[in-house]
Chain A
Amino acid sequence: MTLADHIRAESARLAALCTACGACVRACPMTPYAAGVTAAGPEAVAFGMRDVLREGPGTPEALAWIAACTRSGRCTEACPERLDAAFMLRLAQWRAKGALGEPPRFPVREDTQFSPKVKAFARLTLAEQEQREWL
């Protein structure tokens, strides 16, 4: 199995169980940072998120919500179906970022200097032996 297989399988499994009731959206502390979510309403936003898991296009509001997900986990606590809604959002984020090879549906900020930066700081804070053994 690959990560892509896992994303596809888990997306389908969880989308089949989700009722798009909107409890996850209502519980989310990040909705103030997601344009259009309040106006669209929780059920419509949850419906759009589930659509992304079903390989659909989603909606602009759902994509804004998916983009603003920071893994607060309040959605999982709120889900009446006892689904891991935070993981659903994670799956939706992977898909919307284009992880499965599709064009990204919102701007993806990737720090191309991430690894060099980690190593540069390591040279400042770790002894040479620690770098050899711990990195």
Chain B
Amino acid sequence: MALGTPAPTDPDLRTEAAVFWYGCNMTRHGELIRATTRILEAVGIAAAPAGGPGHCCGSPKEANARIAGGMAQRTVAAFNASGRDTVVTWCPSCHMNMQDSMAPVTPTNFATVHVTEALWARRERLAPLLTRRVEARVLLHAHHGFNGRVAVNDMVPGLLRLIPGVTIVEHAYRAPGHMCSAIAAVPGALADAQRATLAAMAEAGADTLCTIFHSCHRESVALERHGLRVRNWIHLLAESLGIPAEDEYKTWRNAEDPRAAIGEARVAAAGEVAFTRLVEPELRRPPPV
């Protein structure tokens, strides 16, 4: 049974096997990969995480169709060979690319289902597990894009309303694009969106900005410097479920000294050169607003 099909409420429902395709650029948030996998497992989906450059949709190389197409083809081939009949996606780019340009080029033997759809279809199994209160007045960080493909702007608040203590506040603002990495590439657009988000938070009386996607979370965590909380929807679900999901990236991004916050031992494990050249500049970059 493909995972998009609403699951019966039978508590003895068999566990289904899937791939959890978290995308190529999610590794800043290992706790989200880990927690999402455990949440899927809790509702009966044994999802094997797969991502990183070895499971890329090709987007980072889209100026060259030969390279991007080769990356996409390898990823589809790996999923076809996995023996799992469903790929649960996280990243909206990956999801759209699978449907628009990967599956049409390389035939697939799996269904593609977004993680919000998989959890929404199993919300009756999820709800009783959300036992811990999470006090938060939440404004969803919503974009226009992708919602026409998968109704994330409805399903994520719907899932969050299952958490005792969470109040969802409404506001009409929607950021352009499908996630923040897209608007970050257009000069001025991310800063405009973040100013509008801060205004929406104030107007709605929210204390917590809830991101849906990884790049939005990455770009938004520095907004905590404006006196609000920024959490991903998986962080909120995990807290209510009692699943540990410490947001280390947020801590590092907002630390005066990211290197000290991470600690020398972990910096050494990551590689001194890689840390200095690839990680530290991002963590020290001034935020857009």
Binding site for B on A (CB under 8 A): 1-7, 29-30, 33, 68, 70-74, 76-77, 86-87, 90, 93-94, 97-101, 104, 108-111, 113-126, 130, 133-135
Contacts and interface: CB of A to CB of B under 8 A. Distances in A.
Contacts of B274: 116, 119-120, 123
B27 A71 contact: no
A2 B105 contact: yes
Interface stretch (B118-126, B146-154, B202-210): B146-154
Given A4-B65, A125-B30, A73 B147 contact: yes
Given A33-B188, A130-B30, A73 B182 contact: no
12 contacts: A4-B65, A4-B66, A29-B176, A72-B176, A72-B178, A93-B62, A98-B63, A115-B53, A121-B279, A124-B270, A133-B49, A134-B52
B69 A4 contact: yes
Question: For the complex, would chain B's binding face be called helix, strand, loop or mixed by DSSP majority?
Answer: helix
Contact of B60 (A70, A87, A98, A110): A110
Contact of B145 (A6, A73, A121): A73
A21 to B, nearest CB: 19
B82 to A, nearest CB: 13
Interface string B51-71: 111110010111111101100
A33 B60 CA distance: 22
Contact of B63 (A6, A74, A108, A133): A108
8 interchain residue pairs of minimum CB distance: A3-B69, A125-B30, A70-B177, A135-B52, A70-B182, A122-B27, A29-B176, A120-B274
Nearest to B147: A73
Chain B interface residue count: which class? 35 or more
Given A73-B145, A125-B249, A117 B30 contact: no
A49 B56 CA distance: 28
B62 A121 contact: no
B172 interface: no
A37 to B, nearest CB: 13
Contacts of A2: 65-66, 69, 105
A124 B27 CA distance: 9
Instruction: Choose among A3, A68, A71, A98 the residue with the greatest number of B CB atoms under 10 Å from its CB.
Output: A3
Contacts of A98: 63-64
